[in-house]
Amino acid sequence: MDDVKQFLRVSRVYIEKILRPSYVTAYMMTWLKEDVIEQIKHKEQEGPTMASTLFVDKLLELQDEGWYQAFIDALRASGYTGLCDALEKRDFRDIECLEEDRRHLSIIYSTVKSNIKPDELVPYFTQCFLHGELEAIKQETVQKGDCAGAEKLIDCLLRSDKKQWPKIFTIALEEKNFTPVLEVWSQNKDSECKKETESSCEEEGEQSTFTMFQYSEEVDPQNQCLSAAPELRLNHDSSVANVPQLTGYFHQSTSELKLRNYQEELAQPAHQGKNTIICAPTGSGKTIVALSICDRHLKSMPAGQKGKVVFLATKVPVYEQQKDIFCKYFEDSDYSVVGFCGESPENVPIGMVLKSSDIIILTPQILVNCLKEGSVPSLSIFTLMIFDECHNTIGSHPYNVLMFHYLDMKLGSTGEKCPQVVGLTASVGTGKAKNEDEATQYVRKLCASLDIEVISTVKNNVEELEKIVYKPEKLIRELTPRKTDLFINVMSEIMSETEKMARNIFPQLDSLSNIQNRSFGTQKYEQWIIDTQRKCRILQMENKIEERRICQELFTYTEHLRKYNDSIMINDDARTKDALDYLKNFFENVKNGSYNPIEQQVTKVFEAKLPILEDISSNNLNPKLDDVEFILIEAYHENPQTRTLLFVKTRALVSALKNWIEETPDLRFLKPDILIGRNKRHDNIGMTLPSQKGALESFKTNSESKLLIATSVADEGIDIPACNLVILYEYVGNVTKMIQVRGTESHCQYLATRVSRKTRFTPRIL
């Protein structure tokens, strides 16, 4: 007994950091009196650590045999499995390993709570959080908003005893694309596996009994990512695994596919077995060429050998489009087609299905995950790999990660046979090349990354290609910004005052980053914030308590500066009203959270200027919007059936322009819809896959919505044939981002305040 109590005294420091006694006391009613339990619960209102201290004190007062085992059993029953294991084994190393992650999370607390949506992250932590914690986060979010819910989620992470929580947190941030948090959370972590999930490649997926597919034709409304309901049966025991399966819609033989002459020319090197980049304009039918290559590859396998093709698409909407095409084409063939993307159900044994299918359509990170987990042992299981939008094979992109595996296999001594590689792109691009030599070097590097032998372009059938691929009319229009902008002046004062407050607690603020000459309301200022936060997280001081306080406060100041910077950029391209609403929503959210003294101080500065900002926003028109309105009115006057795709650079601007169109009497008939990615930046707005698909389908088929406002999620590889007017509003993309514009009267207008020579070149290749 004395030994047990002595051990509990030594280990109580771990218990007090983790335990919320209210989740455990229900299992200890035999040992603790009712008034003691009530006393502990009351103490928890002052904080879980204080309640845990009292709880341990009461345990140490117990004398009857069996109380310690009852405590261990209570921990396990309530879900504190990590703490329970540590106490049973008397080994706290797994819990101690979490200390650095806890310290780091507490430092970046302000950035995390200001840039996540807790309801999107909660599903990732069902194995890390107790049921009561999950419900508390949801309830706090519903009642008080995202900021308060995020604070509750962070508090649960800081008290979690599960050793996997830092990894799951990283996965969740990456999969939901909460970039500002990732930039300061995972700088020193392994972020290679950007969309890894705990269950995507389970060991049970290695069963050898999986031999036959049996399909259901019903659509699963809960999994809109996959076009058919997934019942996959094992023919040995008829047990069901929830594996999504694709159904097709073509009712024709694969032998009916006939390529045009230029398409045959493009496919020729790949038909000969060469690693090939097929480079052809948007609208030329590269996917049809890929179908032909895939079909011939599978049919030409030597006797006794079986081909396996993987088709990779970088974005989920593109994946959906390509998956449907492959599925329809091969429906009546002997080849099985299956597809998975980042939206696939978590309980799917993906590795097992990959091994059992002939044609697999994937988003690339899934394959990276499976290789890392071992459910796909090697890329040698494939005989052909097709990379859609292959110009993305650069840097740390999943395409490049896959090709690292490929090249390791090719250059290694295992003797494994490498699959054939085929890339599809409208343009290989030139990266940041400033001259022809640098551009050539960039293309060579891309080819080396993909192990390419041939870049296949149309040379002999150019005339036929030009008849098929319509070149839209292009127009560059230089916009006139506001001559004077009082909003920027006032926001600059607020930002200067906020920077001054940050320097008061850390005078060396400006020395943290090498980025100098930053202007308010610019991407450069955003980069300064990111760099400053990164340097802050590794700041070293002798007084660790002071170090932690300063870092936390600096994160709070810089997070507010980030929102101010955003508002100036919104004001630049939209109405001042939209920029001010963005800030007011942010501060309302902050007030519903813990609202610490630093936040109160910063809010006071903002609210002191709020009456002036309100006055400015009531009458601060943006002449750039007048130009956009003129273009739209003119286009629809000439052709009432016009369908417009309006590209903008940020999600916040998508919302602002949608509101502007709906509130402008002459434009509200357009009934704009939006197409944006999933929280890639800190705007905390995003679309789930079903919403993305719905917006695309509505724009293609619904006569009511005449305009689609989009970010880059729609500028690469998505076929939107209904569109006959494209407006690039202050939108500068890489030259490889090709817009899918088809029809006989298509127009592309590039609108920008400053038009550089490079910008003038860009629309010519669209």
> Does an H or E element contain 727, and which?
strand 725-729
Report the alpha-carbon distance of residue 85 to residue 68 in Å, rounded.
14
- Quickly list DSSP for 551-594: HHHHHHHHHHHHHHHHHHHHHHHS-HHHHHHHHHHHHHHHHTTT
Give how far Cα 158 sits from Cα of 25, 182, 264, Å: 21, 17, 59
pLDDT of residue 190: 42
Counting Cα atoms < 13 Å in the Cβ hemisphere of 297 gives 29
Q: Both tokens of residue 398? A: 């999943």
Give the C-alpha separation, 168 to 545, whole Å.
28
Strand intervals (E) in 367-448: 384-388, 420-425
CA distance 695 to 700: 9
Residue type at 581?
D
Cα three-residue angle 730-735-739, rounded to 5 degrees: 70
How many whole angstroms separate alpha carbon 683 and alpha carbon 712?
A: 15
Q: What are phi and psi of 510, to 5 degrees?
A: -70, -15
Tokens matching residue 645: 């795709």
Structure tokens at 535: 């340097």
Asked if 158 and 174 touch (Cβ cutoff 8 Å), the reply is no
Chunk the chain into consecutive blocks of 10 residues (it has 766) and report each block's average pLDDT, rounded to whole numbers. Answer: 89 96 94 95 94 96 93 96 95 94 93 93 93 95 94 96 93 84 71 34 27 26 31 33 36 62 96 96 89 94 92 85 88 88 62 86 90 90 96 91 94 89 92 86 95 96 87 79 93 98 94 89 92 88 90 95 95 95 94 94 97 92 93 91 86 90 95 68 44 59 78 55 80 48 55 57 38
User: How much of the chain is in helix, strand and coil states, percent to nearest 5?
Assistant: 55, 10, 40
Are residues 285 and 260 in contact, defined by beta-carbon separation less than 8 angstroms?
Answer: yes
Please list the alpha-helical segments (H only) found in 239-315: 261-271, 286-299
pLDDT at position 425 is 93
Q: Of 108, 182, 97, 112, which is closest to residue 153 (Cα–Cα)? A: 112
For residue 274, the Cα-to-chain-centroid distance in whole angstroms is 34
Structure tokens at 679: 């929280």
The pLDDT assigned to 491 comes to 98
- CA 369 to chain centroid, in Å, comes to 15
Amino acid 50 reads M
Cα separation, 358 vs 256, in Å, equals: 20
Q: Give pLDDT, residue 686.
A: 46
Locate 469 and state its tokens: 């691929």
Tokens for 737, please give them: 């981002």
The residue with tokens 């900002």 is 613
Torsion sign (Cα): 117, 342, 445, 755: negative
pLDDT of residue 740: 41
Residues in contact with 422: Cβ distance below 8 Å, sequence separation at least 6, in sequence order: 270, 275, 276, 277, 278, 290, 293, 384, 385, 386, 387
Q: What pLDDT score does 288 carry? A: 92
Residue by residue, what is the 3-state secondary structure of 163-232?
CCHHHHHHHHHHHCCCHHHHHHHCCCCCCCCCCCCCCCCCHHHHCCCCCCCCCCCCCCCCCCCCCCCCCE
Task: Kindly write down the DSSP assignment for every residue of 698-716, as one continuous string.
Answer: HHHH-SS--EEEE-GGGSS
- Identify the H or E element spanning 446: helix 436-449
Q: What is the pLDDT of residue 468?
A: 84
Strands 644-647 and 725-729: parallel
d(CA 476, CA 766): 13
**Please, are residues 212 and 353 in contact by the beta-carbon 8 Å criterion?**
no
Reduced to 3 states (helix: H, G, I; strand: E, B; else coil), residue 351 is: helix
SS3 of residue 674 by DSSP? strand
| Pairwise CA distance, residues 704 & 708, whole Å | 11
Distances in Å between the Cα of 409 and the Cα atoms of 299, 318, 379, 406, 665 are 26, 29, 8, 5, 62
**Angle (CA) 295 298 299, round 5°:** 85
Cα–Cα distance between 512 and 525 in angstroms, integer?
Answer: 14
Cβ neighbours of 26 (radius 10 Å)? 11
Which of 759, 760, 752 lies closest to 729, judged by CA? Answer: 752
Report in angstroms the alpha-carbon separations of 163 from 79, 83, 667. 14, 10, 54
User: How confident is the model at residue 620, as a pLDDT?
Assistant: 79
> Using an 8 Å Cβ cutoff, are 21 and 52 in contact?
yes
What is the DSSP track for 601-637?
HHHHHHHHHHHHHHHHHTT---HHHHHHHHHHHHHHH
Scan for tokens 């795709």, then name that residue: 645
CA-to-CA distance for 619 and 598, rounded, in angstroms? 32
> Counting beta carbons within 10 angstroms of the beta carbon of residue 540, is it exposed (0 to 12), middle (13 to 18) or buried (19 or more)?
exposed
pLDDT of residue 677: 55
Query: Which domains does the chain show, CATH number per domain?
Result: 2-96 (1.10.533.10), 99-185 (1.10.533.10), 249-463 (3.40.50.300), 473-479+622-765 (3.40.50.300), 486-617 (1.20.1320.30)
pLDDT at res. 713:
52
Structure tokens at 448: 């080396």
- pTM (predicted TM-score): 0.65
**Cα dihedral 748, 749, 755, 757 in deg (nearest 10):** 20
Q: Which residue matches tokens 């590859």?
A: 297
Q: How many residues does the chain have?
A: 766
